Structure 1
Amino acid sequence: MDSNQIIIQLNDVNFQYSDSQPKVISNMCLKIQKAEFIVITGKSGSGKSTLALILSGFIPHLVGGKFEGEVSYQGIETQTLTLGEISQLAGLVHQDPENQIVTSNVLEELAFGPENLNLSKDEITKRIKFCLSATNLHEFISRSTDELSGGEKQRVALASLLAMGGSVLILDEPTSYLDLVNRTQVLKTLQSLNLLQEMTIIVIDHQPEIYKDLLTRLIVLDEGRISGDYIKDEIDFFPYQVPLKSLESIRDLSAIKPMTNVIKTKNYNVFIKKNRILSNISLNLYSGLIYGIIGRNGSGKTTFANSLLNLLITKGDVSILGENSTKIPTYKLAKDCGLIFQNPNHQIFEQTVEKELLFAPLNLNLDSQITAAKVNQLLCDSSLQQYTNYPPFGLSFGEKRRLTVISVDVYTPSILILDEPFIGQDRYNFEFILKILEKRKKNGLISIIISHRKELFNLVDKFIVFDEGRLIAEGSPEDLVPLLKNKLLYPISHEVLW
């Protein structure tokens, strides 16, 4: 490795969030060259997101804990720099994009960083034009940031960092909320920045295969240490991929109970503020099946899920388990219709992991059905048993996601809606969520998944496809292949489907 080209160097770096917790990063030494495209992967909890915080200077400048070792940028130790100075060298797109959106509309968000650098108006305008083009956000320039979908927020977060003009871009699961079209656009942008502008790209992701044509190096973490470091020519497989057999076995299951209609909508419309987001949705969903709701970013998928629990203004007919659900308060609906929000930070209420797991049963008067053995089993199965008395907001994003999944699954609602449940999950925890879906299907219960993951093709029984606020199709994956290809919703191939 050419020492003149080294842009980032870590020497014997250790980090732990508190004295009572084990080290998250242990004796790490790492050299990163200019214009490398590095993908970092590993099991959940292996230290990937913490490493991103260290590389970007958030640790030790902003995030508390015990930090040891040395991190340098072009020979300058980051502890001698301010976080503002580091931000001009390197930017971080967080796993949760809401953590870094600070203004009320997209234009202000893109201008926020350059304005704080005291750049000229002409330079700010130039940078905004560039990042709008790079992320395909022109039509969103006047949109309110709180009205954006998860995928749209992810693109805004990336664009706002590009506007800072740094030479290193660190991205924590940057495509997790994106549909195929926007994911492809982001990957092309990253490739262009890397090849044409010699920007150093560092990506944290559980799906390293997405970047197989872009990466120059793959780093695997395990328990805070580098367990593998490969250049592109040395990579003959990608670790932690979900085997198709796990998915196909669930799809082939037959429910033990006859199917009944559990959700029915007719001429159903949903509004956010005064804007109609969904128009004339008519659906019949049945027990014992796994449904996948898919569509482009901003097509109305999450809106539909939230509306079923009366969290939004609706017009038209909707019944859940045979009752007009618009007349039922949300807290009563939640007893039969469990919803796992897209962002786990919106669904955490208690001070410890164990209390969070019991929050819904206690408030729904179902706690008498929940045994200590069941609680312990769920914590073990979700790899959260070591965090029983830990504050939930101290967990990683992926761990918080699993906590919200089990905090609803614990009382086994008749209907379970999971909005992007696989974000932040490695193969093993992906399979844990699959086991929940498998058990529900065996017991004749309905599960509804919102996701952009291609694995849905081998998992779900039926797709529901939204586009620009309308239901455009429903049916089995095989039946919808031509439509989905034309809409460019998914990377469909023979291997994916069968």
Structure 2
Amino acid sequence: MDHFAVTNLTFAYAEDAPPIFQELTFAPEPGTFNLLTGPSGSGKSTLLKLLAGLYPQYGGVIQSGEVTVNDTEISTLQPFQRAAHVAMLFQNPSRQFAMRTVLEQLQFALANLQLSPPEIDRRIQTVLTDLHLTQFTHRALETLSGGEQQRVALASVLALGSSLILLDEPFANVDAAGRTQLLADLKTLQRTQHKTIILADHDLSGYAGLVDQLYHVDGTQRTLLQESPAALPATTPATPVQGQPLTTGPLAWHDLSLTVGDRPLITAAQFTLPAGQLGLLSGDNGAGKSTLFAALTRQRRYAGDVRYQDRPAKQYKLKQWALQVAEVYQNSPDQFIRIQASDELALSAQHSLHPTYWTAERIAQAAARLNLAAVLDHVSYALSGGQQKKLQVLSMLIMGQPVLLLDEPFAGLDQASLQAVLTLLQQTVHDLQLSALVVSHQRQGVVSFMDYELRLADQQLQLIAGEAA
């Protein structure tokens, strides 16, 4: 088994920048399952990229110390050589895709290892079977849900056969059943093939009994603190939403049906989004939640009737519609327009539909509550995944469209950040009487803020919590 070590490492994003890690020493025991925790922006992703040899090649400066595999500095190895030792799954799975279909993507990844065609075929069949993905073999990657893409990206990583597997928030968009299954698959891989697994996650549910070592990334002390895995919480039953009586609202759909190719996703759905209330849209990966949002924002064709203020959506020009119905995308950088975080917020303020509400003082207060004040002069694309989410949500709240659809807005958020985002979201929805609907697979810490829940399953969209008006 390969031996990885971080020795007396001091790393910063620039020579004159404060260090992210200060004289860090870390050597995971080969063949163990390791969990990294810590606040958004503390350095979890940075540590994984250092172990993968991506830093300092693609960013940052090692001011002292080294990262080695079998006593060789990992950054000196060629990419195909590194892949034999270490593979990494990024927070955003689409960043790992270069081909059109699942099969083509796996073939491409393995061909870069200079494997023979029979070995490539063998590995593909093995990993698709092990991860229960054989039905996706010929699917186009762009037609998969965020959670399905995450599972395919994981398959690409596991197929490489690397001894160290690094996973950065791998379950952010995965439903509860998929999360449980993938955790079991990873544990089996660790036990049977003696893989070393290092996984960064904010949601600690489901890890009890699986983790060998638990580490907390301390951004203040710029180091790792080892903790007892016995402190991990036991799995608890999903908490239901305590539904409230629903109000009326401006956006409604009737007999709405959606398909992807020849596969029906939603049949004859109808609902009116209530104003001044926050709703949860739940459902398994691939059920059609993101597709529904795409239809409501007129980015995808649909059958049936969608209306705003009782006027058919198709009577609005697209620019007019965008001023009524907005979406917070799963992938935060897709939403950014400006390079610097402060400029992103300034642009939203310039075009806000509620400028008297979103004053400069209120925006500054919101940024401080979200712990963004210290990074507003940073490049938006260089922020951590959690910081990007908070910046994205704040910028869209400032815009203030009457209808706001949020697709996995809590991915990558630690508990403190989650509560801050939800509190700000709830307050803004109430104050401005917005109609807000949230897709989230995370329920812990979320459902108590929700006024109602819609469930999408078996092509049916049903109100399962909340009393219809």
TM-score (norm 1): 0.86
Partner in structure 1 of residue 298 of structure 2: 310
Distance in 2 (alpha carbons) for counterparts of 1:460 and 1:187: 28
Partner in structure 1 of residue 13 of structure 2: 17
Partner in structure 1 of residue 448 of structure 2: 458
How big is each residue's C-alpha offset from its partner over 1:366-424, in whole Å with a ceiling of 9 and x where there is no partner?
65764221221222122111222322111111111111100011143332221111111
The 8 Å contact of residues 335 and 364 in structure 1, kept in 2 or not, is answered as no
Amino acid at match of 1:290: L
1:169, distance to aligned residue in structure 2 (A): 0.7
The 8 Å contact of residues 267 and 279 in structure 1, kept in 2 or not, is answered as yes
Distance in 2 (alpha carbons) for counterparts of 1:91 and 1:227: 21
CA change 1:292–1:304 in 2 (3 A) is same
Moved more, 392-401 or 456-465: 456-465
Moved more, 283-292 or 90-99: 283-292
Distance in 2 (alpha carbons) for counterparts of 1:80 and 1:227: 25
The gaps in structure 2 that reach 5 residues or longer are none
Partner in structure 2 of residue 419 of structure 1: 407
Distance in 1 (alpha carbons) for counterparts of 2:256 and 2:133: 29
1:437 corresponds, among 425, 430, 438, to 425
1:271, distance to aligned residue in structure 2 (A): 5.1
Partner in structure 1 of residue 463 of structure 2: 474
Moved more, 201-210 or 269-278: 269-278
- SS of the equivalent of 1:210 reads coil
Partner in structure 1 of residue 160 of structure 2: 164
Amino acid at match of 1:54: L
1:446 corresponds, among 427, 431, 435, to 435
Partner in structure 2 of residue 79 of structure 1: 75
Amino acid at match of 1:146: E
How big is each residue's C-alpha offset from its partner over 1:287-340, in whole Å with a ceiling of 9 and x where there is no partner?
233211111111110111122121212221111243322322343233333321
The 8 Å contact of residues 219 and 226 in structure 1, kept in 2 or not, is answered as no
1:116, distance to aligned residue in structure 2 (A): 1.5
1:45-56 paired onto structure 2 within 5 Å: 45-56=41-52
Amino acid at match of 1:449: V
Amino acid at match of 1:18: A
1:20, distance to aligned residue in structure 2 (A): 4.9
Partner in structure 1 of residue 115 of structure 2: 119
Moved more, 102-111 or 304-313: 304-313
2:307 corresponds, among 319, 331, 343, to 319
Distance in 2 (alpha carbons) for counterparts of 1:430 and 1:45: 14
The 8 Å contact of residues 111 and 163 in structure 1, kept in 2 or not, is answered as no
Asked if residue 386 in structure 1 is aligned to residue 374 in structure 2, the reply is: yes
- SS of the equivalent of 1:39 reads strand
The 8 Å contact of residues 52 and 88 in structure 2, kept in 1 or not, is answered as yes
Distance in 1 (alpha carbons) for counterparts of 2:372 and 2:126: 43
Moved more, 288-297 or 361-370: 361-370
Partner in structure 1 of residue 231 of structure 2: 236
Amino acid at match of 2:455: V
How many residue pairs match? The answer is: 464
Distance in 2 (alpha carbons) for counterparts of 1:358 and 1:314: 35
CA change 1:272–1:407 in 2 (3 A) is farther
1:53, distance to aligned residue in structure 2 (A): 0.3
Distance in 2 (alpha carbons) for counterparts of 1:305 and 1:458: 23
1:160, distance to aligned residue in structure 2 (A): 0.6
1:251, distance to aligned residue in structure 2 (A): 6.0
1:361, distance to aligned residue in structure 2 (A): 4.2
Partner in structure 1 of residue 149 of structure 2: 153
Distance in 2 (alpha carbons) for counterparts of 1:430 and 1:282: 30
Distance in 2 (alpha carbons) for counterparts of 1:107 and 1:221: 36
Partner in structure 1 of residue 65 of structure 2: 69
1:149, distance to aligned residue in structure 2 (A): 1.1
Amino acid at match of 1:467: A
1:359-374 paired onto structure 2 within 5 Å: 359-363=347-351, 370-374=358-362
- SS of the equivalent of 1:60 reads coil
Amino acid at match of 1:348: F
Amino acid at match of 2:215: I
The 8 Å contact of residues 340 and 404 in structure 1, kept in 2 or not, is answered as yes
How big is each residue's C-alpha offset from its partner over 1:434-488, in whole Å with a ceiling of 9 and x where there is no partner?
21233145434432110111224433232211125x2242221899xxxxxxxxx
1:363, distance to aligned residue in structure 2 (A): 4.2
The gaps in structure 1 that reach 5 residues or longer are 480-498
Partner in structure 2 of residue 193 of structure 1: 189
The 8 Å contact of residues 256 and 306 in structure 2, kept in 1 or not, is answered as yes
Distance in 2 (alpha carbons) for counterparts of 1:307 and 1:20: 47
TM-score (norm 2): 0.91
Partner in structure 2 of residue 133 of structure 1: 129
Distance in 2 (alpha carbons) for counterparts of 1:72 and 1:333: 54
1:60, distance to aligned residue in structure 2 (A): 1.9
Percent identity at matched positions? Answer: 27
The 8 Å contact of residues 452 and 465 in structure 2, kept in 1 or not, is answered as yes
Distance in 1 (alpha carbons) for counterparts of 2:334 and 2:320: 19
Partner in structure 2 of residue 184 of structure 1: 180
CA change 1:325–1:66 in 2 (3 A) is farther
* Higher share in helix: 1
RMSD: 2.8
Partner in structure 2 of residue 7 of structure 1: 3
Partner in structure 1 of residue 214 of structure 2: 218
1:108 corresponds, among 97, 104, 109, to 104
